Amino acid sequence: MLQKLSPQQIQLMKLLQIPTAALDERIEEELEINPALEDSREDGDYDGPEEELYRQDETAEDAVPKSEDGFEFDDYLNQYMDDDPASYKLQGDNYNGDEEEKVIPIAEENTFHEYLEQQLGLLNLKDERERNIALQIIGSIDEDGYLRREPLSIMDDLLFSQNVFTTEAEVFELLKKIQQFDPSGVGARDLQECLCIQLKSKLEQEEHLTRRQKRRLRLALQIIEEFFDEFTKKHYPKLQKNLEASEEELKEALDEILKLNPKPASGYVGSVNRNVQYVIPDFILLNNNGDLELSLNSKNAPELRISSQYLDMMRDYRARAKGGKSNAQQKEAVQFIKQKIDSAKWFIDAIHQRQQTMFNTMYAITKYQEDYFLSGDPKKLRPMILKDIADITALDISTISRVVNNKFVQTEFSVKRLKEFFSEALQTSEGEEVSTIEVKKILQDLIGIEDKQKPLSDERLTEILQEKGYNIARRTVAKYREQLNLPVARLRKEL
């Protein structure tokens, strides 16, 4: 039997998924579509209508008759006596009324593509047609600074969008000119070409280079142009043999290559193409002399209330109804008001329930991982899955999943993603269960201190972990290494 979710439950689930950073935007959307919902911060303190205006008058002889569809308006109005609509608003306990809205000024900057377009003036272009072709090439450069579109595709775009016919040779000719733009390496079609452009640019500044620097740069260029495959696979003995270079010369050339920028667009300081994301923590966890104090970010506690204007309209209708002056049109209007007020109540309730659910979930995580939060030592993280927290909070696993998704907590050590506290268990040789996070940390440390001339293989890493008492297979070590974005031993090798 399928269980149907009510609109309120669906609304709550959607709100639980929203991180604090996006909550304001969601509230603004609701304020726009529902005039019965208000943000009380916009107009100061709120003094609602007197409670007696909503008191049920059981002795009144002029009771409002039921409408044809059975809807009792007077009952509906009296329903609000228990809810106290005048005080039906939401305000966080930790909200400070003296807090000011702080606006971060954003400097007006050119985008990366605008920066490239400004450099078109340095080219000796024949006419407006060539300029349009160059602009099309620049517009096809991606956010990393690469041109990953084929010349034929650029030709088709020009023909269909601007009725400009060009040839592949002309596109290549203009591309070569654009590749001389700043930042160096822009417009390259792959990594090899990008590194070559940067090395050639450095070699063009011969008057500023010493003889040794020139020799080093030429050797680096030869490696990229002729032995790029060997370079990427770190076949250093083969490189040294083919180049007939000493180990020191090869190391110096490789150092020059490592100084180059594989993503040219990142070399543009003013670029606003790059997505800079600021993390707003959803929770704040403080260590007060060994006592952990958890609080929700104050942005999770907006000051919302039911519109006094809508309540006044309902009061006015009640007065008219009791005086026998109501009509069908007014009853229809009150039904609309009822719908909007109900919707506003549901939303306020959902926000409040979101706060409670988030706090209860994070509190359970805090107690479960108390040793870690007190010490900051990743090795003290206990194995923990969603079901563990669901059992503690008596919430559904899917609810816990929504709470921890894209949420962050600010600790005294750093801002952490909630998902980082969840991990599977791994058994030691003594039968004790430890977190896989602990094993990954040890693995990362082992690779961090290894001899880069003789990096540890996955087999050797497995042996070391087993010697430390962790029952782990080589394929599991390889999986954890990949999850840590650490390459295989051959690619970690250095001269």
Confidence of residue 109 (pLDDT cuts 50, 70, 90): low
Ranges 58-62, 126-130, 336-340, 395-399, most confident: 395-399
Pair (430, 367) in one structural domain: no
Radius of gyration of the chain from its Cα atoms, rounded to whole angstroms: 33
Q: Between vectors from CA 98 to CA 94 and to CA 101, what angle results, nearest 5°?
A: 95
139-189 pLDDT, tens digit per residue, is 899 888 999 888 888 888 888 888 888 888 988 999 999 989 888 899 999
- The C-alpha atoms of residue 18 and residue 103 are separated, in whole angstroms, by 22
Q: Between vectors from CA 19 to CA 18 and to CA 20, what angle results, nearest 5°?
A: 120
Kindly report the CATH number assigned to the domain that includes residue 427.
1.10.10.60
Pair (337, 216) in one structural domain: no
Asked if the model's pLDDT at residue 224 lies above 50, the reply is yes
Q: Residue 124 domain-assigned?
A: yes
- The C-alpha atoms of residue 66 and residue 71 are separated, in whole angstroms, by 6
Task: Give the residue numbers spanning the domain of 27.
Answer: 7-57+66-94+297-378+385-393
- The C-alpha atoms of residue 354 and residue 407 are separated, in whole angstroms, by 13
Pair (131, 261) in one structural domain: yes
Q: Look at residues 248, 267, 286 and tell me which one is the last residue of a structural domain.
A: 267
Pair (167, 306) in one structural domain: no
Q: Say which residue, 48 or 227, is predicted with more confidence.
A: 227
What pLDDT shows up at residue 96?
Answer: 46
- For tokens 């031993």, the residue is 489
Q: Residue 104 domain-assigned?
A: no
Q: Residue 102 domain-assigned?
A: no
- The C-alpha atoms of residue 321 and residue 331 are separated, in whole angstroms, by 9
- The C-alpha atoms of residue 434 and residue 426 are separated, in whole angstroms, by 5
Pair (309, 261) in one structural domain: no
Three-state helix/strand/coil letters over 368-422: HCHHHHHHCCHHHCCCECHHHHHHHHCCCHHHHHHHHCCCEEECCCCEEEHHHHC
Look at residue 454 and give its three-state secondary structure: coil
Q: Which tokens belong to 151?
A: 């010349």
pTM of this prediction exceeds 0.85: no
Q: Residue 292 domain-assigned?
A: no
- For tokens 């991606």, the residue is 142
Confidence of residue 304 (pLDDT cuts 50, 70, 90): confident
Q: For 79-134, give the DSSP string.
A: HHHHH-GGG-EE--TT--TTPPPP---------HHHHHHHGGGGS---SHHHHHHH
187-199 pLDDT, tens digit per residue, is 999 999 999 999 9
Q: Residue 99 domain-assigned?
A: no
Element (H, E) at 320: helix 308-322
What pLDDT shows up at residue 362?
Answer: 93
Pair (353, 304) in one structural domain: yes
Strand ranges across the sheet with 304-306: 37-39, 304-306, 89-90
Pair (259, 141) in one structural domain: yes
Query: How crowded is residue 449: how many other Cβ atoms within 10 Å of its Cβ?
Result: 8
What pLDDT shows up at residue 441?
Answer: 84
- The C-alpha atoms of residue 55 and residue 67 are separated, in whole angstroms, by 21
Cα–Cα distances (Å) from 78 to 47, 89, 317, 445, in that order, read 20, 19, 13, 67
Q: Residue 286 domain-assigned?
A: no
Cα–Cα distances (Å) from 290 to 251, 287, 375, in that order, read 51, 6, 10
Query: How crowded is residue 210: how many other Cβ atoms within 10 Å of its Cβ?
Result: 8
- For tokens 């090795």, the residue is 379
Q: Residue 411 domain-assigned?
A: no
Confidence of residue 364 (pLDDT cuts 50, 70, 90): very high
**Cα-flanking dihedrals φ and ψ of residue 319, to 5°?**
-60, -40
Q: What is the mean pLDDT of residues 221-232?
A: 89
- The C-alpha atoms of residue 219 and residue 202 are separated, in whole angstroms, by 13
Pair (263, 157) in one structural domain: yes
What pLDDT shows up at residue 39?
Answer: 79
Look at residue 210 and give its three-state secondary structure: coil
Cβ proximity of 283 and 20 under 8 Å: no
With 0-12 CB in 10 A as exposed, 13-18 as middle and 19+ as buried, what is 324?
Answer: exposed
Q: Which tokens belong to 335?
A: 């039904």
- The C-alpha atoms of residue 116 and residue 185 are separated, in whole angstroms, by 12
Element (H, E) at 285: strand 283-288
Pair (371, 487) in one structural domain: no
What pLDDT shows up at residue 390?
Answer: 93
Q: Residue 225 domain-assigned?
A: yes
- The C-alpha atoms of residue 288 and residue 286 are separated, in whole angstroms, by 6
Average pLDDT, the chain: 78
CA 255 to chain CA centroid, nearest Å: 34
Pair (154, 262) in one structural domain: yes
255-286 pLDDT, tens digit per residue, is 888 888 888 887 675 544 445 556 788 899 99
Pair (221, 116) in one structural domain: yes
Number of domains in the chain: 3
- The C-alpha atoms of residue 23 and residue 27 are separated, in whole angstroms, by 6
- The C-alpha atoms of residue 33 and residue 303 are separated, in whole angstroms, by 17
Asked if the model's pLDDT at residue 63 lies above 60, the reply is no
Q: Look at residues 267, 284, 312 and tell me which one is the last residue of a structural domain.
A: 267
Q: Reply yes or no: is the peptide bond before residue 35 cis, omega within 30 of 0.
A: no
Q: Which of 105, 109, 104 is nearest to 273 (CA)?
A: 109
Pair (251, 366) in one structural domain: no
Asked if the model's pLDDT at residue 394 lies above 90, the reply is yes
Q: Look at residues 229, 252, 267 and tell me which one is the last residue of a structural domain.
A: 267
Q: Which of 237, 255, 257 is nearest to 247 (CA)?
A: 237
**Cα-flanking dihedrals φ and ψ of residue 416, to 5°?**
-115, 145
Pairing of strands 408-410, 283-288: parallel
